[in-house]
């Protein structure tokens, strides 16, 4: 069957199981968009307000659904507008295929209108990228792109397709995807790992995004229960283990709980599953593992030994590893260790005021289900959400962990909505982050998406201001947002519903209105600008230096 390159692309996307793509049209992708129009009953295109929003939507779709997210943009500024979203997906290991158009092959390298070398630009922030100059290579390239994006340590792949390749024709259905070669793995001392776990007096599990990526939440529960080991989680692994489980100690790291941080500092064996030991999680590297042995399990060879030198390392899929080792482990109890941990639980940060973010999130939780997806932007509200919102199921917390992208949240919430068949989705944001991509409200309204936006409005750049308070002598340089933006009117201008809330009753009243409305709503919650995210372990410090 002979098809044009553009039609071949759409047919192969459908063949790969893609039901939704996000993007913005332009001259270099007109052929692709023409074919999308012809196939709109088979694949849904979501028109965003900006290419960055489209990239974040593809990211959110992938995180919420576990499938590959797809984004399309034109050449030049359309392609470069994707870069932040691609980099965000790369640092958080999110499977994404970004498709860009480009000028015709004969015009490449001549500074043609809207020409950029997007392949070179994205090289540091993709798993792989392709420039397709021959239409006969397109089908094979698309198949490989999806395989690369969704295998091993997942991540984004870019395909750049010149205009003439989109028009040219070739046979479709002839490409055969070769089996990916097995990469040599690091040697693994299974007996040593089993012995160390069996001999541990104060073991601890540290779970990260690798658990979510491998869909290993059930296996993690089984492992923790058999060994009766406490579990801490990273930001990226926030939903790897249910908060209501008695073995859960919650978030660890710069803004994690005291009990999680203290337990980590006192443990004698740390079993790290699918984590990369980022600086925000470890604090002072030299002191981080000075009292314990470390077992590090990760699918990415490059992460083994990069930040922490483990005593035992296992390179491989964490789900398969748990299934393999679980029958060989004996049940443990550790009563003395748990008695010590319960003592740590008595130390907590004080929560003051009637409308503290903790109260906002606890009120919100009464109106959400365990499988409701919650997206955040970046800042204080992100950390408060990770601290105080109760998560019970995997893939329900979407946040920019590695790149820390302000403006990520709304696009991600839109993508998650489609990834979960337009199920109710929540965005927690603040006026600083929200202002960066609030134009995507038009997308949420146009698609009539049931998104609840909780905007924590403290009229400052809260996290930066908190650091200025702690480390810069309260010199608040450019962090006071003395603007007069009326976010309720802004929401209404886009066609949605908006509410103001200054206390929990007003918040509850607004959330009750949500139940009678299918489209997006925004609740502007006024909070104290001096509110801080606590506990906090300062950069390069340890739990001994924690600020409560």
Among candidate residues 35, 51, 144, 447, the one labeled active-site is 51
pLDDT digits (tens, 9 = 90+) for 152-170: 999 999 999 999 999 999 9
Q: Has 51 been annotated as catalytic?
A: yes
Is 463 marked active-site?
yes
Residue 72: CB atoms within 10 A of its CB come to 29
Is pLDDT of 83 > 80? Answer: yes
pLDDT band at 350 (very low <50, low <70, confident <90, very high): confident
Give the model's pLDDT for residue 16. Answer: 97
Mean pLDDT on 168-184? 81
**CATH number for the domain formed by residue range(s) 190-344:** 3.40.50.1220
Q: What percent of the chain shows pLDDT beyond 70?
A: 99
User: The pTM is what?
Assistant: 0.96
- The torsion angles phi and psi of 24, rounded to 5 degrees, stand at -150, 125
The catalytic position among 38, 113, 185, 513 is 113
Nearest alpha carbon to residue 138 among 229, 32, 278: 32
487 has catalytic annotation: no
Domain 2-171 fold is Rossmann fold (3.40.50)
Calpha distance 188→206 (Å, rounded): 20
Beta bridge partners of 157: 97, 128
For the question of residue 163 being annotated catalytic, the response is: yes
95/42 Cα distance (integer angstroms):
22
Contact of 51 with 59, CB cutoff 8 Å: no
pLDDT, the chain, mean: 96
250-268 pLDDT per residue, tens = 999 999 999 999 999 999 9
Least confident range from 33-42, 318-327, 348-357, 368-377: namely: 348-357
Residue percentage of the chain with pLDDT more than 90? 89
Tell me the C-alpha distance between 327 and 167, whole Å: 56
Q: Are 401 and 92 in contact (CB under 8 A)?
A: yes
Residue 113 a catalytic site member: yes
**pLDDT on residue 185:** 66
Rounded Cα–Cα distance for residues 529 and 511 (Å)? 23
**pLDDT tens figures, 371-389:** 999 999 999 999 999 999 9
Residue 317 Cα to chain centre, angstroms: 19
Q: Which residue in the list 163, 293, 319, 532 is annotated as catalytic? A: 163
- Containing 322, the helix (H) or strand (E) segment is helix 318-325
CB 546 within 8 A of CB 265: no
Burial 405-438 (b: 16+ CB within 10 A, else e): bbbbbbbbbbbbbbbbeebbbbbbbbbbbbbbbb
- Find the range with the poorest average confidence among 140-149, 186-195, 470-479: 186-195
User: 242-260: b or e for each residue (b if 16 or more CB lie within 10 Å)?
Assistant: beeeebbbbbbbbbbbbbb
Longest dimension (CA), the chain: 73
pLDDT-derived band at 288 (thresholds 50, 70, 90) equals confident
**Catalytic-labelled residue, pool 406, 456, 463, 536:** 463
Task: Spell out the residues 6+ positions from residue 542 whose beta carbon is closer than 8 angstroms to its own.
Answer: 265, 283, 284, 287, 288
Q: Is 349 exposed, middle or buried (0-12, 13-18, 19+ CB in 10 A)?
A: middle
The domain limits of the chain are: 2-171, 190-344, 357-526
- Binned at pLDDT 50, 70 and 90, residue 182 comes out as low
339-348 tens-digit pLDDT: 999 999 999 8
Domains 190-344 and 357-526 share a fold: yes
Please identify which of the residues 114, 392, 393, 506 carries the catalytic annotation. Answer: 114
Burial class (CB in 10 A: 0-12, 13-18, 19+), 520: buried
CATH class given for the domain over 357-526:
alpha beta
């Amino acid at each position: 069957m002979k098809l044009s390159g553009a039609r071949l692309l759409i047919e192969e996307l459908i063949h790969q199981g893609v039901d939704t793509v996000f993007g913005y049209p332009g001259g270099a992708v007109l052929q692709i968009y023409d074919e999308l129009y012809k196939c709109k009953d088979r694949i849904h295109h979501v028109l965003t307000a900006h290419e960055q929003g489209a990239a974040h939507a593809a990211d959110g779709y992938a995180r919420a659904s576990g499938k590959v997210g797809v984004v399309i943009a034109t050449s030049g500024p359309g392609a470069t507008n994707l870069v932040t979203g691609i980099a965000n997906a790369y640092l958080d290991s999110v499977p994404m295929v970004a498709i860009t158009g480009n000028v015709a092959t004969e015009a490449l390298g001549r500074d043609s209108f809207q020409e950029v070398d997007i392949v070179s630009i994205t090289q540091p922030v993709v798993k792989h990228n392709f420039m397709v100059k021959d239409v006969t290579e397109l089908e094979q390239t698309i198949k490989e792109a999806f395989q690369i994006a969704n295998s091993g340590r997942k991540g984004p792949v870019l395909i750049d397709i010149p205009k003439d390749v989109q028009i040219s024709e070739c046979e479709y259905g002839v490409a055969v995807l070769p089996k990916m070669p097995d990469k040599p793995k690091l040697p693994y001392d299974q007996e040593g790992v089993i012995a160390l776990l069996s001999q541990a007096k104060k073991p601890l599990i540290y779970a990260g995004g690798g658990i979510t990526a491998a869909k290993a939440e059930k296996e993690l529960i089984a492992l923790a229960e058999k060994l009766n080991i406490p579990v801490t989680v990273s930001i990226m692994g926030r939903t790897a283990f249910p908060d209501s489980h008695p073995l859960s100690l919650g978030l660890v790291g710069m803004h994690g709980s005291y009990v999680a941080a203290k337990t980590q500092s006192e443990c004698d064996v740390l079993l790290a599953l699918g984590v990369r030991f980022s600086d925000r999680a470890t604090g002072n590297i030299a002191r981080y593992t000075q009292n314990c042995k470390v077992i590090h399990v990760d699918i990415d060879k490059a992460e083994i030994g990069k930040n922490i030198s483990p005593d035992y390392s296992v390179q491989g899929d964490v789900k398969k590893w748990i299934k393999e080792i679980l029958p060989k482990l004996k049940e443990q109890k550790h009563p003395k260790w748990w008695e010590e941990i319960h003592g740590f639980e008595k130390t907590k940060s004080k929560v003051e005021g009637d409308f503290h973010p903790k109260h906002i999130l606890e009120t919100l939780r009464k109106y959400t289900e365990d499988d409701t997806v919650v997206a955040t932007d970046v800042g204080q509200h992100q950390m408060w959400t990770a601290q105080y919102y109760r998560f019970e199921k995997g893939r329900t917390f979407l946040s920019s962990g590695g790149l820390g992208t302000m403006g990520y949240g709304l696009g991600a919430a839109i993508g998650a909505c489609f990834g979960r068949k337009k199920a109710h989705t929540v965005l927690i944001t603040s006026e600083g982050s929200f202002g960066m991509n609030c134009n995507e409200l038009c997308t949420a309204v146009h698609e009539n998406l049931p998104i609840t936006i909780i905007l924590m409005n403290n009229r400052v750049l809260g996290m930066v201001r908190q650091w200025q308070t702690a480390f810069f002598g309260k010199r608040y340089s450019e962090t006071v947002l003395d603007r007069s933006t009326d976010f309720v009117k802004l929401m209404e201008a886009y066609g949605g519903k908006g509410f103001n809330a200054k206390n929990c009753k007003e918040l509850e009243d607004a959330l009750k209105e949500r139940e009678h409305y299918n489209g997006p709503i925004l609740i502007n919650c006024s909070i104290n600008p001096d509110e801080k995210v606590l506990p906090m372990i300062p950069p390069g410090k340890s739990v001994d230096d924690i600020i409560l």
